[in-house]
Structure 1
Amino acid sequence: MTTPETRPGTTPPPAPTALITGAGSGIGRAVALALAGAGWSVVLAGRRADALEETARLAERSGDGPEGPAALCVTADVTRPDQVDALFAAARARFGRLDLLFNNAGTFGPPVPLEELAYDDWRTVVDTNLTGAFLCAQAAFRAMKEQDPRGGRIINNGSVSAHTPRPHSVAYTATKHAMTGLTKSLSLDGRPYDIACGQIDIGNAATEMTGRMQTGILQADGSTAVEPVMDAADVARTVLHMAQLPLGANVQFATVMATAMPYIGRG
């Protein structure tokens, strides 16, 4: 969604608004900075207020104008329906509309054999990765259907694990496969309301979550190996491309990964 040029003497159109979950670090922060640098207003959601404020400071420096793009920080746990409702209400109150939701918040869970995975750890991963994404998508749907002009875009953060699992990743892998089903359903149900939905499947972006890949991680053959990673900014550029498309066009699924990671041929 690009911002049209403004003729001299006319009021510039408002910047498009994006809401990013898990915006305090990693891919969420990188995407927030890419969007802000392209002139978007950003709503930064996460559980750590200090991390969100740091993202906001970086985002406000990334714009071309003297004040930088607008950034709103909202602490929220996406597994809590009441907090998700408050998050989206705050976004609408500040910016009046929502053009993009980047459903990014997620967790891997402990990398233990399936038989040792505790029920509470399973629930934490499912509640965060799947239920949290659903709750945010539902709130975005409601906002995008009601606003004028109607419509918007949802981009879900999947994973290469939506296609091929790692060892000891049953909860994460199951939720990322489910994310693909969520993306397809949102894409179909959004058609009558000009709501587009796509998914970006990411492999080995360098973040806090993937730190162990750079020191050695379990492979399918039982060995341990260091894996190549890529800069999270490379992911952010792809999300920005998806976000800037007109609503009549959609990247349904995209895979962005470290070129030499053991994904093609994994297993």
Structure 2
Amino acid sequence: MTTIAHGRPLEGRHAIVTGGARGIGLAIARRYLAAGASVALWDVEAAALADAVQQLAPLGTAISALVDVRDEDQVARGASQAQENFGRIDILVNNAGVLGPTVTAWEHTPAQWRQVLDINLTGAWLCCRAVVPVMLAQQQRGRIVNIASVAGKEGNGFNAAYSASKAGLIALTKSLGKELAASGVLVNCITPSAADTAVFAGVPAEHREQLRSALLARVPMGRFVEVDEVAAMAAWLASDDCSFSTGAVFDISGGRSMY
């Protein structure tokens, strides 16, 4: 029988959160610290990372590393640094991502397409590639939480690269979950609908409100998901309460998608 954890369910756990300087990643880091974990934030923006660590310092141990998840060497160095600081790695959250261009599929340039896939999908795979052997060597337990998107289930018009990358991340979750099922390392993903985060800042102003309105129109609850709602689900998936789910997709889309 699994013991249900209360209070600080991640006490003594050590996590890496990619794209951790703001938005969903920062909310997850905050939630993990409050639950007792130590957190290594990875991001590509030094100033945002420094500000995030300062915000999180009162809650517990938070360190940071400048890591571009597209760069195999940077990912390997970041994983080594986290292991040296914490002694182990218990949780990996693959959250780093970009929306990409808001254009038709045929109007993506090859460079734009590759950038989105490289960050959102290949980057997550590189992080898993670096961290999974560490988790396996610990011979205890591990948790990998991939932040995908409802767009990976349904496809968003005018966001083909983003949708394709998130569909790929769902498939990676399922494949890796099967491969690790007997190891104690559980791999799951979350598929949020849109959160009103800085991701919209990268959308041209003339398209921003149109995109926001279009996304909201698809959500029966009629609002954006709150980053803290995603963080709550990510905290459960990282905990011992999640003990018999792996390779699974957890929807948090306000009723937009129920599978």
Using structure 2 for the length normalisation, give the TM-score. Answer: 0.85
Alpha-carbon separation, structure 1, partners of 2:251 and 2:257: 12
In structure 2, the residue matched to 1:248 is: 243
Question: Would the alpha carbon gap of residues 4 and 161 (structure 1) be closer, same or farther in structure 2, given more than 3 Å must change?
Answer: closer
CA contact (8 A) 1:20 1:101 kept: yes
Percent identity reads: 29
Alignment counterpart, residue 120 of structure 2, candidates 110, 129, 137: 129
> 1:97-108 maps to which residues of 2 (within 5 A)?
97-108=88-99
1:79 corresponds to 2:76: no
In structure 2, the residue matched to 1:110 is: 101
- Bigger mean CA deviation after superposition, 15-24 or 149-158: 149-158
Alignment counterpart, residue 205 of structure 1, candidates 171, 184, 195: 195
SS at match of 1:200: strand
Alpha-carbon separation, structure 1, partners of 2:160 and 2:119: 15
Give 5+ residue unaligned stretches, structure 2. 216-221
CA contact (8 A) 2:38 2:62 kept: yes
Alignment counterpart, residue 257 of structure 1, candidates 250, 253, 257: 253
Q: Give 1:166 deviation, angstroms.
A: 1.5
Question: Would the alpha carbon gap of residues 14 and 30 (structure 1) be closer, same or farther in structure 2, given more than 3 Å must change?
Answer: closer
CA contact (8 A) 1:167 1:219 kept: no
Whichever residue aligns with residue 194 of structure 1, its letter is G
1:132-158 residue CA offsets vs partner (Å, 9 max, x unmatched):
0000011111110112x4330101111
Structure number with larger C-alpha Rg: 1
Alignment counterpart, residue 55 of structure 1, candidates 27, 52, 55: 52
Alpha-carbon separation, structure 2, partners of 1:88 and 1:168: 35
Whichever residue aligns with residue 183 of structure 1, its letter is T
> 1:28-177 maps to which residues of 2 (within 5 A)?
28-61=25-58, 63=59, 69-147=60-138, 149-177=139-167
Q: Give 1:80 deviation, angstroms.
A: 0.5
CA contact (8 A) 1:153 1:247 kept: no
In structure 1, the residue matched to 2:15 is: 18
SS at match of 1:255: strand
Relative contact order (alpha carbons < 8 A, sep ≥ 6): 1 or 2 greater?
2
SS at match of 2:144: strand
Question: Would the alpha carbon gap of residues 158 and 120 (structure 1) be closer, same or farther in structure 2, given more than 3 Å must change?
Answer: same
Give 5+ residue unaligned stretches, structure 1. 6-12, 64-68, 221-226
Alpha-carbon separation, structure 2, partners of 1:183 and 1:158: 9
Whichever residue aligns with residue 49 of structure 1, its letter is A
Whichever residue aligns with residue 250 of structure 1, its letter is S
SS at match of 1:193: coil
1:162-197 residue CA offsets vs partner (Å, 9 max, x unmatched):
111111111111111111110011101112321100
Whichever residue aligns with residue 216 of structure 1, its letter is Q
SS at match of 2:125: helix
CA contact (8 A) 2:5 2:241 kept: no
CA contact (8 A) 1:22 1:45 kept: yes
CA contact (8 A) 2:23 2:198 kept: yes
Q: Give 1:248 deviation, angstroms.
A: 3.3
Alpha-carbon separation, structure 1, partners of 2:145 and 2:245: 10
In structure 2, the residue matched to 1:230 is: 225
Using structure 1 for the length normalisation, give the TM-score. Answer: 0.83
CA contact (8 A) 2:251 2:257 kept: no
In structure 1, the residue matched to 2:178 is: 188
Whichever residue aligns with residue 244 of structure 1, its letter is S
